[in-house]
Structure 1
Amino acid sequence: MEQNALIGKLQKKRNDLSELEKRVLDFILNDYELIATMTIDDIANRLYVSTATVSRCSRKLGYEGFRELKYTLIQNQTKLKKSKEVQNFSAEINEFMIENVNNLQNTINDINIKDLETAVTYINRAQVIEIISVGASLANGLDLSRKLTFLGQIAHARTDWDELEAISHNLNDDCLAICISSSGETSYMINYAKKLKSKHVPIISIVSNRNSQLAQLSTIALIAKTNNIYIGNVDLSSRHATIFIIDLILMMYGKQL
């Protein structure tokens, strides 16, 4: 049972009660959520006391009678329920924030500067950059393509599966593929990566798992830590670390221009 101002107020009245009245108070404090469904007769029968004892206890607690006490307890239950919901929601938010901070810190700790420098070199040399990102990672791919274009590169982030299939056949070793996938196990992405590798196209992947298939197929694998979160079929996994890696690459590339 959760303590609040009302319960504390009732507990302070305990010394003013008789032994039978204390029995009534103890029942209220220990099982007050049941009060909403009980009458004064129910309580009297449950505790083997008279209804007069229940009424007298209610008055000594500061109420006109049991009805007023019962109403107050019901109102208090509603407040406690709302308080618990807010506390639970706040706890979930706090846990989510801590997880994201930890993922970002782990991403920073795991960064290999030489890999980043090599990735920037590939971007510099590429005649065409194809950014392959699907599902929840698509927004990251589109953003990267747009910024690379503004920085003077020829960069595309296609959303059509057939186009991506065609591109995976048409690129050569003068091009660059940047594959963004949180899991690194998306079947379409793996198929594209295999075709690109067979044509000796350099592949930079941004994934959360270094041991994923995509990471193993890549020329350079940059690790962006995240926790996979799904509600139904909807991927709600955070992309904060992915965005950080992308921004870092863009900053390093932009400063060389």
Structure 2
Amino acid sequence: MTCLIKIRSLRENMSANEKKLADFVLENTGLIRDYSSQQLASAVGISQSSVVKFSQKLGYRGYPDLKMAIYESLSHEVTSTTNTAAGGASLRQKNAEELLFGLKQEAIETTVALNSKEKFDQAAGALRRAERVQVFGAGLSGLAARSLAYHLMLTGKAVVNEAEVLVQLAQADGLGKGGVFVVISETGEDSDAVALTQRAKSAGATVIAICRCGTSPVSLLSDIVLEALVDRGQTNLSSLLLAAAQQHLVDILVSRFN
């Protein structure tokens, strides 16, 4: 059952305030991406805590998870609808795309605010001074890793970005004190990412980690940690939003490096 269907089906058994929220969401689905929990509460005329409780009653950890679920629900309706009216389908598609854009923007803005200017300066400075750079990305984070490696190569840096983990392990052993190892991981707990970080650290290299906010094996081993903050939800959009946030951190590093 999608989020919007769930709201429609549960509406009759909701309290007065919950019905106000449900009606506002159902009638203004495409606008939800622009509303914080406080703004939504003000628009409906209820308290912010009521918005949080409403989200939890629907089975979500909080309001950010509800927003992501609404996007998924919109996407489902666009792809599964039997309504062939081109205008209606086009509008729903536009709403879904706008909500996704809003969620990405929110993830990026939160992530940037989480990391200090000093952190970015330290990471960019380490890359600038490095005699050699090795970059590894696990899973979806591999896209950001390849982007960083490519841009560093364009500056003339000696960069290693192998897909094969065994090759990466051998390369990490030779990094030395003049080298920098950049590890980009969604969780900071991926076994390959941890093993490579340990090897690079043992070789004397400076380690820069770009991973999800919070303590992890990779972050504990690293000298400089840039964190991406995306709510762990029940939706598969979480990984997509984290990848977008990590890519933005890479873009900032590249801009500061140049």
Q: Normalising by structure 1, report the TM-score.
A: 0.59
Q: How does 1:231-242 map to 2 (within 5 A)?
A: 236-242=240-246
| 1:247 paired residue number | 251
Report 1:1-257 matches (<5 A): 79=83, 93-226=97-230, 230=236, 236-254=240-258
* Cα distance change, pair 155–87 in 1 and its aligned pair in 2 (3 A): same
The Cα of 1:99 is off from its aligned counterpart by 2.3
Q: TM-score, normalised by structure 2?
A: 0.59
Larger Rg: 1
**Alpha-carbon distance between aligned partners in 2 of 1:145 and 1:79, rounded to the nearest angstrom:** 46
Q: What is the deviation of 1:213?
A: 1.9
Secondary structure of 1:135's counterpart equals coil
Q: Which runs of 5+ in 1 are unaligned?
A: 1-77
Q: What is the DSSP-based 3-state SS (H/G/I as helix, E as strand, rest coil) of the residue aligned with 2:209?
A: strand
Q: Which runs of 5+ in 2 are unaligned?
A: 1-81
Residue-by-residue CA offset, 1:43-95 (whole Å, 9 max, x unaligned): xxxxxxxxxxxxxxxxxxxxxxxxxxxxxxxxxxx659999988876665454
How far, CA to CA, are the matches of 2:84 and 2:123 in structure 1? 55
Instruction: Select between 181-190 and 134-143 the one with higher mean Cα deviation.
Output: 134-143
The answer as to whether partners of 1:179 and 1:203 remain within 8 angstroms in 2 is yes
Q: Which whole-Å deviations, capped at 9, do the CAs of 1:121-149 have from their partners, x for residues lacking one?
A: 21122111000113212121111111111
Q: Given that residues 148 and 250 in structure 1 are in contact (C-alpha distance below 8 angstroms), is that contact kept between their aligned partners in structure 2?
A: yes
CA distance in 2, matches of 1:132, 1:80: 46
Change (3 A) 1:205 1:187: same
Q: Give, in angstroms, the shift of residue 174 of structure 1.
A: 0.9
Amino acid in the other structure paired with 1:240: A
Q: Please state how far the C-alpha of 1:167 moved relative to its aligned partner.
A: 1.6
Equivalent position SS for 1:221: strand
Q: CA deviation at 1:224?
A: 2.3
How many residues align? The count is 175
Note the C-alpha offset of 1:225.
2.7
Q: Distance in 2 between matches of 1:89 and 1:212?
A: 38
Counterpart residue identity of residue 131, structure 2: Q
* Percent identity between the two aligned chains: 17
* Relative contact order, higher structure (CA 8 A, sep 6+): 2
The whole-number CA distance in structure 2 between the counterparts of 1:240 and 1:111 is: 16
How far the C-alpha of 1:205 sits from its partner, in A, is 0.7
Preserved contact between residue 103 and residue 241 of structure 2 (Cα < 8 Å): no
Per the TM alignment, residue 166 of structure 1 is displaced from its structure 2 partner at its CA by 1.0
Measured in 2, the distance between the counterparts of 1:121 and 1:114 equals 10
Q: Secondary structure at the match of 2:194?
A: helix
Cα distance per residue 1:216-246 (max 9 Å; x no partner): 2110001123356549xxx645522112111
